Structure 1
Amino acid sequence: MTDTPTGFRRVAVHDAFDLPLARRAAFRLFTARGEELWVPGWSPRFFVDRADDLEVGTVWRTHDDAGRPTTWVVVAAEPGVRVRYARVAQDWTAGTVDVELSDAADGCRVRVGYDLTAMTADAAAELDRFEAGYAASLASWREAILDHLDSGGALPDPV
């Protein structure tokens, strides 16, 4: 049995939304470089020149909303279908993010799952808020993507 510090927490959440885009056209919107198009402030820094953001083992860093360095690693990828990232926000949370796209009648269905473990009691409290607001958060992703497209924003090359 492993001792777990009081107040620490692991949260696994999943939800989905639809986009009026073909699955292959939408897929790259959920990669490190593709998110730059529609996520305000998203600015991945790669450690290797010309890194492929869908190649297993590729590493980059961003900063979370509180400014904490967050390191990402591609751990699995099936371009056009799914990608899985390991994600570590320095001294805060660690876990995985899964994105899977499937064909739908009017475009595609995007399923996103986070499995995160808090490294501090404060992070555990934030994970509680993250879990409670997860569906609304994903709805805001959809709206941000649609706003980007409606304003004539570019799409990354399809896979």
Structure 2
Amino acid sequence: MRKAFSHEFVVERAVGDAFPLFTPKGEEEWVPGWKPDYFAPDSGETRKDMLFATGKGDERTWWTCLEWEPESHHVRYFRLTPGNRAAFVEVRCRARGPGSTDVIVSYDMQALGPAGERYIDQMDDAAFAGMIGEWPDLIEKSDPATA
């Protein structure tokens, strides 16, 4: 089973300040419990072919950056939760105004077993929008000086 989803929202920050929030290090500033294990580079610097992992147990997920285009505010990751699901994750940011940014987050998910089938079967456009739709509030609550 394979499904793709996309959701757009606005972040009240300039595009140059908003885009870094969607890197692994940037998400540490606003995603509760997000603390990746960085393998390459171990500094966690976002770059093409970086490798990091999140989660524990059955939800241990391995990530790599496939496309890193900071000059155009675009990044694309591949994530793999072994025996469960895989996904291509893409984030595109574009200036809406001097202090506002449009953000488009897309996931293309593929089930890799029964658990992944159940996960993806339960995901629909509304559930995806609800999950991603929390991000602007979480970002707003974060400290812009550290994000």
Structure 1 residue aligned with 2:79: 87
- What's the secondary structure of 1:133's corresponding residue? helix
- Determine the C-alpha separation between the residues in 1 that align with 2:54 and 2:9: 24
Report what 1:3 is aligned to. Answer: none
Per-residue deviation at 1:52? 2.1
In structure 2, relative to structure 1, the CA distance for the partners of 1:76 and 1:35 (3 Å cut) is: same
Q: Do structure 1's residue 57 and structure 2's residue 46 form an aligned pair? A: no
Deviations 1:72-129 (A, max 9, x none): 0000011151000010012111121000000103511000000010111232121122
Q: Which residue is 2:60 aligned to?
A: 69
Q: What's the TM-score once normalised by structure 1's chain length?
A: 0.82
Gaps of 5+ in 1: 1-8
CA distance in 2, matches of 1:93, 1:154: 35
Equivalent AA in structure 2 for residue 145 of structure 1: I
Q: Partner residue of 1:117?
A: 110
4+ long deviations beyond 3 Å: 152-156
Bigger radius of gyration:
1
Question: Is the CA contact (8 Å cut-off) linking 1:37 and 1:153 kept in structure 2?
Answer: no
Q: What letter is aligned with 1:52?
A: E
Instruction: Report Cα offsets for 1:15-36 as digits up to 9, x if no partner.
Output: 1000111111011110001101
Q: Which runs of 5+ in 2 are unaligned?
A: none
Cα 1:45–1:15 change in 2 (3 A) is: same
Which of 117, 139, 142 in structure 2 is aligned with 1:145?
139
User: C-alpha distance in 1, partners of 2:5/2:105?
Assistant: 8
Question: Is the Cα contact below 8 Å between 2:24 and 2:44 reproduced in 1?
Answer: no
- C-alpha RMSD of matched pairs (Å): 1.7
Number of equivalences? 143
Distance in 1 separating the partners of 2:44 and 2:27: 15
Q: Does 2:119 align with 1:126?
A: yes
